[in-house]
Amino acid sequence: MVITPSQRNHARLLGEGASTIVLAHGFGTDQTAWRHQELALAEDHRVLLFDHVGAGRSDLSAYSPRRYQSLRSYAIDLLDLLEELALEDVIYVGHSMSGMIGVLAANEEPRRFRKLVLLGASPRYLDDADYEGGFKRADLDGLYDAMQTNYHAWASGFAPIVTGNPDKPGLARDFAASLMALRPDIALTVAHIIFESDHRADLPKVTLPTLVLQSQADIAVPTAVGHYLAGHIPRAELRLLDATGHMPHWSAPEQVTRAILSFAASA
């Protein structure tokens, strides 16, 4: 039996409209991460939601660590999905790891995309000379070790740090539950892919209008990274949200929805 890309990635199309907004989730979540945005966006647009292989209700039989060794593999999945659904000129919204997935896919097949929205995205998480990524080597080694030693304990401790907003403990509970729904081996492999990646050289190749959406305080992606993206993608603009944490589409959902709709409507 041949599994189509839409089956593999549990794709859903909502709404109607002349344009299509693609919502791509970040690490540790699935398409339900967009629950605060999908219906509002679908009022005037078609909205495509999907799960990266290994997450949510994707087809786990499609996953192998040999197949998914870099973010480029996920970019190929995205392009396969757009091809199957005959979608071009889409407005792509990528959170966290999906930001660079969108960059790679748009550089490969720019006709499939009209605009990019990069929410809490980073081309490199590890600090480098003259570059602040937010993590040092010891930080990442400790993260990998904690994931391997006791994954559920790691997820419980990692979630509140990443979501921030201690006054909204439900955000951390939701993220912890989402992390724990992942197979630990897949989560560890994907974490390595994300945190060891360096896509800074891909940024100047982006030809599309790009909106960089950045929280004011994000432990995973410092504001310096948002400025770096806006400074190295030729047609990018940076918008700092009145929000904290790595999940502003949860902590400040109306702001994120308005920003997407405004950018989608702009010339």
Q: What is the pLDDT of residues 27-85, one digit of tens each?
A: 999 999 999 999 999 999 999 999 999 999 999 999 999 999 999 999 999 999 999 99
249 is catalytic: no
The average pLDDT across 170-190 equals 97
- Read off the pLDDT of residues 5-19 as tens digits, 9 standing for 90 and up: 999 999 999 999 999
Q: What is the pLDDT of residue 130?
A: 94
The average pLDDT across 87-107 equals 98
- Read off the pLDDT of residues 181-208 as tens digits, 9 standing for 90 and up: 999 999 999 999 999 999 999 999 999 9
- pLDDT > 70: what percent of the chain? 100
The active-site residue, picked from 96, 122, 197, 251, is: 96
Question: Cα separation of 133 and 224, whole Å?
Answer: 8
The active-site residue, picked from 30, 51, 174, 218, is: 218
Q: Given pLDDT bands bounded at 50, 70 and 90, which one contains residue 159? A: very high
Please say if the pLDDT value at position 247 is more than 90: yes
178 is catalytic: no
Please say if the pLDDT value at position 144 is more than 80: yes
The average pLDDT across 157-161 equals 97
Question: Cα separation of 236 and 116, whole Å?
Answer: 9
3-state helix, strand, coil in the chain (%, to 5): 50, 15, 35
Q: Given pLDDT bands bounded at 50, 70 and 90, which one contains residue 86? A: very high
Domain 5-133+198-265 architecture: 3-Layer(aba) Sandwich (3.40)
96 is catalytic: yes
250 φ, ψ to 5°? -100, -45
The active-site residue, picked from 52, 246, 249, 251, is: 246
Q: What is the pLDDT of residue 259?
A: 98
Q: What is the pLDDT of residue 2?
A: 82
Question: Cα separation of 116 and 12, whole Å?
Answer: 20
| Residue-averaged pLDDT of the chain | 97
Question: Cα separation of 49 and 67, whole Å?
Answer: 22
Please say if the pLDDT value at position 124 is more than 90: yes
Q: What is the pLDDT of residue 1?
A: 72
Residues 6+ apart with CB under 8 A from 123: 100, 103, 197, 198, 199, 200, 202, 203, 225, 228, 229, 232
